[in-house]
A = this chain, B = another copy of it.
């Protein structure tokens, strides 16, 4: 084995949203990575531009939202629907609806529109600050998982795109974030399953327009007698238009139909009648057929993985490509971390494909339905439009509106719900305890934890509970401790059982606890677990030193009072407890995965039961044997 070959934890091919977010996560979790891209620069024009509400929360949790907002993106709070007027005088507005209705309970109930290159820039800057640079223009020329070296099984050769320069590396992992035309996928022989034949051709154009159309700063879904169009406002004075160019119902339909910028503009002009539109500047345009594909496998060996467009392609119109890529990357990143850091068994990595492929399947189902409805010629029923006058709250008979509304939970990102597996509890999970809560509360397993505002005890700051533990690879324990007077014993027992040396908590403690700074707020005891305690009490009634056992008091920066009025939870003193469905007299413990999704909810009880249940839950993936003694004593 030549020792002069560089070794790293991961090589990421492709510095688009998927690859960059994966890189940012892995670097934060402490891994050495290489990220290469065959393009010479970041994305300059075109491509994706929409951050869905859940994606913005993710970026907030990573400390990157401020950098995104500094670009002053457009924010879409509402969507307007336009249809042909019955008099044949062009289009008129027939309704509108919230982009992210209150039922979704998003912290940021809007879509954030910003050019992909600027979003990439936020990640690239973050990597720079941590000493990692995207290597461009470089490509992957060879790779194999040859198993010759257990720790670094992947051998690969990187090559400069323009110069005669190459480099051999050994890595633990290789990631293809190359986009739809993934060469790694091809070289692995993984098939992309195509679905529906191409039945529509769309043009997309970014630029600056001058128009008397009143909804240019809103997202618009437009059906006209001359085809369909979608308007997406953007940062500065930019706008993106998706314009239907050809449809399979046209007599001479050709799925490889090309169109010039002028043709695309002419289509837009006809669709927007009776309004005028003039282009001041075209920044980018492209014509694409709508196609759908999904990779058979996301990995063959749990060493080389696909993510983002490399494993699923679809229409861009629901703004899901970049967002889905983010969640692929996040899902993969935290699992790689848990395995490589010695917390979890390698089998955990299998859940990447099961969790994310199901989401991609759902996405393609939705996308097919949505794209097809979007491209349909408008029926005469829709033309009359009478029941859409005013707003969208009324009749559901318009199929398009119906699909749109049903899909909002999914497209917002909050509809991502992972099915039961080792990391999402269900009655079929190996961990069996009557204390696991299932469909008993408002916390849905597999979905992100509901948001809540609480008061931090030590400084009286009003904070967003779901963001208090940063995205650092830790599991998050939210100890909803209810009323201190009734849960005192249960909280003490919870701490006592965490302290047992075979608990999931103590088994993975730092080797040298004395070396941890007393300023450490999130992970004073183990890098894998962080604990937030929320009392159903007012801030001034909480004395951390006397009301919490030392183990939990050590997380003093993460002790909160559930005393903020939530207008949607009227009459509830402890709004967060009430919102999540927890009894103030009993409390409960939520275990949230490092990606923000709820792993399980456990009753908070006196005795060892709560920690026992968590030991069993973690036992399904942990590398160490947890909670021995109790196993013998179990019923």
A258 at the binding interface (Cβ < 8 Å): no
For chain A residues 49-102, which have a beta carbon within 8 Å of chain B? 66, 69-70, 74-78, 96
Contact check: which of B217, B458, B460 meets A459 at CB < 8 Å? B217
Which of the 9-residue segments A287-295, A317-325, A538-546, A580-588 touches chain B?
Answer: A538-546
A214 at the binding interface (Cβ < 8 Å): yes
B66-A218 in contact (CB<8A):
no
Convert A557-588 into 0s and 1s, putting 1 for each residue whose CB lies closer than 8 angstroms to a CB of B.
Answer: 10000000101000000000000000000000
Contact check: which of B391, B518, B567 meets A210 at CB < 8 Å? B518
Number of residues from A at the complex interface, CB < 8 A: 36
B391-A459 in contact (CB<8A):
no
B214-A545 in contact (CB<8A):
yes
A390 surroundings in chain B (CB, below 8 A) = 540
A461 at the binding interface (Cβ < 8 Å): yes
A460-B78 in contact (CB<8A):
yes
Contacts A77-B459, A214-B544, A218-B460 supplied; 10 other A-B pairs, CB < 8 Å: A66-B70, A76-B459, A76-B460, A77-B460, A210-B518, A217-B458, A390-B540, A391-B540, A565-B567, A567-B567
Convert A192-229 into 0s and 1s, putting 1 for each residue whose CB lies closer than 8 angstroms to a CB of B.
Answer: 00000000000000001010101111100000000000
Measured CA separation A216–B78 after assembly (Å): 44
- With A66-B66, A69-B66, A210-B518 in contact, do A218 and B458 touch (Cβ < 8 Å)? yes
A237 at the binding interface (Cβ < 8 Å): yes
B212-A545 in contact (CB<8A):
yes
A233 at the binding interface (Cβ < 8 Å): yes
A237 surroundings in chain B (CB, below 8 A) = 519
A218-B518 in contact (CB<8A):
no
Residue numbers of A with Cβ under 8 A of B are 66, 69-70, 74-78, 96, 110, 208, 210, 212, 214-218, 233, 237, 390-391, 458-462, 518-519, 540, 543-545, 557, 565, 567
Measured CA separation A413–B165 after assembly (Å): 62
User: Top 10 A-B pairs ranked by shortest CB distance?
Assistant: A217-B459, A78-B460, A77-B460, A217-B458, A237-B519, A75-B461, A567-B567, A77-B461, A218-B459, A66-B66
Measured CA separation A460–B101 after assembly (Å): 13
* Residue of B with least CB distance to A110: B461
* Residue of B with least CB distance to A79: B460
